[in-house]
Structure 1
Amino acid sequence: MRSGILLAVIISSFLLFQACSSKPSEKKQSTSSTENSGYKLVAYVAGYRDYDFTQIDADGITHINYAFGNIRNGQAVFDTTKIDGKNLTPVDLEKLVALKTKNPNLKILISIGGWSWSGGFSDAALTEQSRAVFAKSCAKMVNDYRLDGIDLDWEYPNQPGAGNTYRPEDVQNFTLMLQKVRESLDEMARAEGKEKHYLLTIATGADMAYVDNTNLGEVQKYLDFINIMTYDFYNGWHNTNGHHSNLSASANPDKDMNSVLNAVSMHLKAGVPAKKLNLGIPFYGRIWKGVDARDNEILFNKAETVGMGIDYVDFCENINANGFTRFWDETAQAPYLWNPVEKTFISYEDEQSIALKINYLKEQGLGGVMFWEYAADKDKKLLNAVRQGLKNKASTE
Structure 2
Amino acid sequence: MKQISLIALLFICLISTNIFAQKNKKLDIIAYYTGDSKLIDEYEVNKLDQIIFSFCHLKDGKLSVDSPKDSITIKHLVSLKAKNPKLKIVLSLGGWGGCEPCSDAFSTADGRLKFAKSVKEVSDYFKVDGLDLDWEYPAIEGLPGHLYQAVDKPNFTELLKILRSTLGKKYELSFAAGGFQKYLDESIDWKAVSPLVNRINIMSYDLVNGYSKVTGHHTPLYSTNPKEESTDRAVEFLLKAGVPAEKLVIGGAFYTRQWKNVENINNGLYQAGEHFQGADFKNYATTYTEANGWKYFWDDKAKAPYWYNEGTKTFATSDDIKSIKAKTEYVKSKKLGGIMFWELTLDSFRDGMVNAIYEVKTSK
Q: TM-score, structure 2 length as denominator?
A: 0.88
Larger fraction in helix: 2
- 1:289-320 per-position Cα deviation (integer Å, ceiling 9, x unaligned): 221223x44211111x2153431123333444
Of 172, 177, 197, the residue aligned with 1:199 is 172
In structure 1, stretches of 5+ residues that fail to align are: 1-33, 81-86, 190-196
Give the secondary structure class of the aligned counterpart of 2:25: coil
Whose radius of gyration is greater, 1 or 2?
A: 2
Q: What letter matches 2:136 in structure 1?
A: E
Residue 45 of structure 1: how far off its partner (Å): 0.1
Matches within 5 A, 1:127-166: 127-162=108-143, 163-166=145-148
Deviations 1:118-141 (A, max 9, x none): 112112221111111011111111
Matches within 5 A, 1:376-391: 376-380=346-350, 381-391=352-362
Instruction: Give the paired residue count.
Output: 339
2:212 paired with 1:238: yes
Q: What is the rounded CA distance, in whole Å, between the counterparts of 1:270 and 1:227 in structure 2?
A: 16
The two structures, once aligned, show a CA RMSD in angstroms of: 2.0
Instruction: Determine whether 1:62 maps to 2:45.
Output: no
Cα 1:171/1:242, change in 2 over 3 Å = same
Which runs of 5 or more structure 2 residues have no equivalent in the other structure? 1-21
Provide closer, same or farther for how the CA distance between residues 258 and 178 of structure 1 changes in structure 2, counting only shifts above 3 A: same
- Which residue of 85, 99, 116 corresponds with 1:118? 99
Over residues 90-139 of structure 1, what are the superposed CA-to-partner deviations in whole Å (9 max), with x where a residue is unaligned? 11111211211321211101100111111121122211111110111111
In structure 1, how many angstroms separate the alpha carbons of the residues matched to 2:267 and 2:323? Answer: 21
Q: Deviations over 1:129-182 (max 9, x none)?
A: 111101111111111111111111110001231121111110100000011011
Q: CA deviation at 1:238?
A: 1.0
Q: Which has the higher contact order (CA 8 A, sep 6+)?
A: 1
Aligned mates of 2:60, 2:330 — CA distance in 1: 42
Q: Which amino acid aligns with 2:310?
A: P
Q: Which residue of 2 aligns with 1:4?
A: none
On the 8 A contact 1:290/1:344 being kept in 2, the answer is yes
Q: Following superposition, which runs of at least 4 residues in structure 1 exceed 3 angstroms of deviation?
A: none
In structure 2, the partner of 1:310 is 279
Contact 1:233/1:259, CA 8 A, preserved across alignment: yes
CA separation of 1:35/1:52 partners in 2, compared to 1, >3 Å: closer, same or farther?
Answer: farther
Q: 1:206 to 1:365 in 2, by over 3 A?
A: same
* TM-score calculated relative to the size of structure 1: 0.81
Per the TM alignment, residue 232 of structure 1 is displaced from its structure 2 partner at its CA by: 0.6
**Equivalent in the alignment of 1:37:** 25
Q: Which residues in structure 2 correspond to 1:183-332 (within 5 Å)?
A: 183-186=165-168, 197-211=170-184, 212-251=186-225, 257-294=228-265, 296-303=266-273, 305-322=274-291, 323-332=293-302
**Deviation per CA, 1:175-196, whole angstroms, max 9, x where unpaired?**
000110111111xx7xxxxxxx
Q: Note the alpha carbon deviations across 1:316-354, whole angstroms, 9 max, x for none.
A: 334443221111112211111111111111112122212
2:89 maps to what in 1? 108
Describe the SS at the equivalent of 2:55. Answer: strand
